[in-house]
Structure 1
Amino acid sequence: MEFDIVSLSRLQFAATALYHFLFVPLTLGLSVLLAVMETVYVLTGRPIWRRMTQFWGTLFGINFVVGVATGITMEFQFGMNWSYYSHYVGDIFGAPLAIEGLMAFFLEATFVGLFFFGWDRMTRVQHLAATWAVAIGSNLSALWILIANGWMQNPVGAVFNPETMRMEVESFAAVLFNPVAQAKFVHTVSAGYVTASVFVLGVSAWYLLQGRHVALARRSMAVAASFGLLSSFSVVVLGDESGYVATEHQRMKLAAIEGIWETETPPAPLTIIGFPDQESRTTDHLVEVPAALGLIATRSLDTEVPGIADLVAHGRTRIENGILAYDALQSIRAAGGPDAADPAVREAFAANVANLGHALLLLQYVDDPRQATPEQIEAAAWDLVPPVATLFWSFRIMVGLGFFFIVLMTAFFWQMVRNRLGSPRWLLWVAVFAIPLPWIAAELGWIVAEVGRQPWIIEGVLPTAVAVSSLGVGEVMLTLAGFTLLYGTLFVIEIALMLRAIRSGPAEEPPRAGSWQSAPAGE
């Protein structure tokens, strides 16, 4: 990778975002599992369910604290490393972030405190309400982040103002109910539920292999297997819906994921194994399922899935029309604003403003897009193609892991139905070694989402290359090294704390006599 300001800024944000997302899925899933476990405790009065809630709550707390700390840094980067982006779309992007901040630091933090310190100070129902508020707050926090990210993938409800040279909100309802954001939210939270389920399943399996905390482990495993089975099915179904939405709004991403260079006669086949080559612009399709891609991506047998070459040609046309918009915009600015500009210029701008972002792709090659040569326009058009091999294999590994989780959860759910949780031992070992796999799948999912959007920081509106701050390479390298060191240290501390808590296990002693947690001696 070249050490330029754009690539370094992208690398820094990617490193911090991927690191932060190590904590988000477990927070989303464990918060709901805690609420489920405490609900059972309140309904049955059995102390083992309280111990389960407190034990998994300790692990949730460790994860939550480090996750919040790493998330704060990401939001500051918008001002530090992406100042032109913040200026250009701050009116739209800032609102969901501000609401998310209120959710995270007021709603979540308040009720997390009540969860940990309110056991002896609140009634059962009050404490249960606080626990459910933690779960709801965590998921609402994710909702607003994904509304912001979904708008970057599909910028609806906003218009470009030639007077302020910024994107401005036209319909907040359109931003809120953006189909891409909604699809990303349900898919992401489901992935978090799978992550937590596999985590609880794996730790519980380890306890059973050690012969420790057997009663707690078996009950935890039953909850995780039931919740995880539903979640793993929903991840696959909702992931399919995300792919369908991409067919409508991000066709280049879909073509790159499937390695389709030329538009094929519908219905297009689905490549299971292939080897895309971006230099030769070809893909060796080794294993295919006939017609499957057409059915998945278009829900029909007669609708085309456009190939990369045709999408590049369409992009070339949009770049040429974007140059017309750029030229009209310069005339409007020279005249002192839209009201003072010639009506024909205003009309030309209105007709081509949707392509203005494509003209900005040329700023990598020439200072004034109107001076671009045909060769530079062609190069900018091919810049619309993201790294195909990265997307192709990231997507397939992610999907393969998704189906593995279905099989894993089905196996444990079947053992639960047969009242044989704890056997066979080889299945318990599979669960233990599967613990890191949901994180791998989740990180690959974000790589598909974010790398697939390139070269855009806002799809079709603002190229990544022009959104950075005016910083020196040395400054970004210094902060990148600092973040790497800090985050590496935090990661080691977090893993050490989690392992220590798991080794120590849940408290064995029953609640103290006379407290509201006291319950019959039976489990």
Structure 2
Amino acid sequence: MELNIVDLSRLQFAMTALYHFLFIPLTLGLSVVLGIMETVYVMTGRPIWRQMTKFWGTLFGINFVLGVSTGIVMEFQFGMNWSYYSHYVGDIFGAPLAIEGLMAFFLEATFVGLFFFGWDKLSKLGHLTATWCVALGSNFSALWILIANGWMQNPVGSAFNPQTMRMEVTDFFAVLMNPVAQAKFVHTVSAGYVTGAIFVLGVSAWYLLRGRHVELAKRSMAVAASFGLAASLSVVVLGDESGYLATEHQKMKLAAIEAMWETEPAPAAFTLIGLPSQVDRETHYAIHIPWALGLIATRSLDTVVPGIDELVGQAQARIKSGITAFDALQKIRATTPGAAIDPAVQRSFEDNGANLGYALLLKRYVDDPRTATPEQVAAAGWDTVPNVPTLFWSFRIMVGLGFFFILLTSVFFVLSARRRLDHYRPLLWIAVLAIPLPWVAGELGWVVAEIGRQPWIIEGVLPTAAAVSDLGAATVLTTILGFAALYTVLIIIEMALMVRAIRKGPEPDDEPEAALVPATLAAAE
């Protein structure tokens, strides 16, 4: 099948985003781990905690640099590959994106510099403050990106202006406090904490298996196990909140994740496993857990979770309403500048304008949505169904890994409390082999979030197919190959640098033993 400009542009953005997100979770997780370790150092004055902070800080620095460099490319893509999207929503989307840039390149980067070069120039408390500011900066940077992304999932605080043909901000506070954005932020950040914790746990386990840097490894594992357990539990709780919000704002995504084709009586059953077929519009060999989906998705026993068939019917009705809005819009734009708009036309647009984006789904079939046939309206309604098998399996693998992380960190939390971290070599090997799994879960999370939103680039407002730039397929394909080659090289470089730093181990700390004096006494002196 020949790829068109929309598919190629989506492929390029997906590739660069998934590459970029290989670095972000570890940055988020390690930044907090560094803050915890240095806090213990300042409180106890024990040099080994300073040595631990420096060692894990080196790995953080390698990851941070590559995360920033790969993130720059993504922002340029909005202008290069998605120019109509940038024009259509630039007034809204541009603000959080710009603030994120300020956070990443000024606040966060400044304190990263202080962290690496301020050990002998700042007081203990001053350096600790800089370290925690690195963590705060990393989290604030993620916050603004997820506010922008959350608005794409739930476009609140905005309205379409028929005169400018653009979305405009009506309530910036509503954009900031968007419940979908807030839920995505805490869920994504918690997943990053899990990534950092499992990384520290796995590397430390490798040291114990090799009998190297044992004291550093045991203390690092104790921090990682407790921090990772708390983060893993929060990911599950916050993921449940995201699912609850999807019930309200993204019903089709939820139905596709559950491969629920028909609406069931409340409370709906949860499909534990099965083989969903987009062609048959059926889930074969499904194993259900009665009532579970209704309780999870609606937190009630009497609220119905609509199935895909019902939602498609609703989409077809909205497409028809959108055609009316499209017709009114054309009449408004045809009105002579300065002349009064026909009140009936204005009223028609106001009544149906919320569904204008649904009419644009017909652009795949006809140039003018007003000429669409009933068959084309029906087909466009089914276009609102994302790839069900991909969502179904991505979600279940992600959730399964989430519960595995809870089990893994719980085991090592208990072993740490009992001071038996190095007594069970098979468990240490499991920790080592688990290192890449948080990245798998994180990438699958974004697959669920973004594929589940299709065919919309802005949920219910602008179809993805209408947002691309007018570029040639060969141009986009060339950049895809270029980015793939460049990013693959960057990944290899990062892995080589990380492996080299891990094999080398921590540098001997030259802090005098006087540092063992408690920090409060040292400050008094």
The residue that corresponds to 1:92 in the other structure is 92
Q: What is the Cα deviation at residue 421 of structure 1?
A: 1.4
The residue that corresponds to 2:73 in the other structure is 73
Query: What secondary structure does 1:204 align onto?
Result: helix
The residue that corresponds to 2:521 in the other structure is none
Aligned partners of 1:31 and 1:339: how far apart in 2? 59
Query: What secondary structure does 1:423 align onto?
Result: coil
Percent of residue pairs bearing the same amino acid type: 72
For the pair 1:483 / 2:483, whether they are aligned, the reply is yes
Q: Deviations over 1:306-337 (max 9, x none)?
A: 00000000000000000000000000000036
The residue that corresponds to 2:175 in the other structure is 175
Query: What secondary structure does 2:139 align onto?
Result: helix
Aligned partners of 2:171 and 2:390: how far apart in 1? 35
Aligned partners of 2:199 and 2:130: how far apart in 1? 23
Q: Which amino acid aligns with 2:147?
A: I
The residue that corresponds to 2:107 in the other structure is 107
Aligned partners of 1:486 and 1:92: how far apart in 2? 31
Query: What secondary structure does 2:119 align onto?
Result: coil
The residue that corresponds to 2:502 in the other structure is 502
Superposition map of 1:81-480 within 5 A: 81-336=81-336, 340-480=340-480
Aligned partners of 1:430 and 1:191: how far apart in 2? 20
Aligned partners of 1:189 and 1:163: how far apart in 2? 39
On the 8 A contact 2:143/2:185 being kept in 1, the answer is yes
RMSD value, Cα: 1.2
Q: What is the Cα deviation at residue 423 of structure 1?
A: 2.1
On the 8 A contact 1:162/1:338 being kept in 2, the answer is no
Gaps spanning 5+ residues in structure 1: where? none
The residue that corresponds to 1:36 in the other structure is 36
On the 8 A contact 2:45/2:517 being kept in 1, the answer is no
Aligned partners of 1:452 and 1:480: how far apart in 2? 23
Q: Which amino acid aligns with 2:198?
A: V
Aligned partners of 2:29 and 2:306: how far apart in 1? 37
Q: What is the Cα deviation at residue 422 of structure 1?
A: 1.5
Aligned partners of 2:426 and 2:201: how far apart in 1? 14
The residue that corresponds to 1:520 in the other structure is 516
Q: What is the Cα deviation at residue 375 of structure 1?
A: 1.1
On the 8 A contact 2:44/2:516 being kept in 1, the answer is no
Aligned partners of 1:200 and 1:339: how far apart in 2? 67
Gaps spanning 5+ residues in structure 2: where? 519-525
Aligned partners of 1:278 and 1:3: how far apart in 2? 20
Query: What secondary structure does 2:275 align onto?
Result: strand
Aligned partners of 1:90 and 1:365: how far apart in 2? 27
Query: What secondary structure does 1:340 align onto?
Result: coil
Q: What is the Cα deviation at residue 509 of structure 1?
A: 4.0
Q: What is the Cα deviation at residue 520 of structure 1?
A: 3.2
Shift of the 122–383 alpha-carbon distance from structure 1 to 2, 3 Å rule, reads same
Q: What is the Cα deviation at residue 181 of structure 1?
A: 0.2
Q: Deviations over 1:159-202 (max 9, x none)?
A: 00011000000000100000000000000000000000000000
On the 8 A contact 1:332/1:340 being kept in 2, the answer is no
Q: What is the Cα deviation at residue 521 of structure 1?
A: 9.4
Q: What is the Cα deviation at residue 302 of structure 1?
A: 1.0
Q: Deviations over 1:364-406 (max 9, x none)?
A: 1110000111111111100000000000000000000000000
Aligned partners of 2:342 and 2:79: how far apart in 1? 36
Tell me the TM-score normalized by structure 2: 0.97
- Range that drifts further, 163-172 or 501-510: 501-510
Q: Could you list the structure 1 runs, at least 4 aligned residues long, displaced by more than 4 angstroms after superposition.
A: none
On the 8 A contact 1:162/1:337 being kept in 2, the answer is no
On the 8 A contact 1:209/1:428 being kept in 2, the answer is yes
Q: What is the Cα deviation at residue 34 of structure 1?
A: 0.2
Q: Which amino acid aligns with 2:473?
A: V
The residue that corresponds to 2:11 in the other structure is 11
Aligned partners of 2:221 and 2:337: how far apart in 1? 65
Q: What is the Cα deviation at residue 416 of structure 1?
A: 1.1
Query: What secondary structure does 2:515 align onto?
Result: coil
Shift of the 221–328 alpha-carbon distance from structure 1 to 2, 3 Å rule, reads same
Aligned partners of 2:59 and 2:3: how far apart in 1? 39
Q: Which amino acid aligns with 1:395?
A: F
On the 8 A contact 1:163/1:337 being kept in 2, the answer is no
The residue that corresponds to 2:523 in the other structure is none
Q: What is the Cα deviation at residue 339 of structure 1?
A: 6.0
Q: What is the Cα deviation at residue 224 of structure 1?
A: 0.2
Query: What secondary structure does 1:519 align onto?
Result: helix
- Range that drifts further, 276-285 or 12-21: 276-285
Shift of the 218–340 alpha-carbon distance from structure 1 to 2, 3 Å rule, reads same
Shift of the 521–130 alpha-carbon distance from structure 1 to 2, 3 Å rule, reads closer
On the 8 A contact 2:62/2:498 being kept in 1, the answer is yes
Aligned partners of 1:92 and 1:338: how far apart in 2? 27
Aligned partners of 1:398 and 1:338: how far apart in 2? 56
Q: Deviations over 1:253-281 (max 9, x none)?
A: 00000000000111111111111000010
On the 8 A contact 2:262/2:310 being kept in 1, the answer is yes
Query: What secondary structure does 1:508 align onto?
Result: coil
Aligned partners of 1:223 and 1:125: how far apart in 2? 21
- Range that drifts further, 1-10 or 245-254: 1-10
Aligned partners of 1:468 and 1:510: how far apart in 2? 56
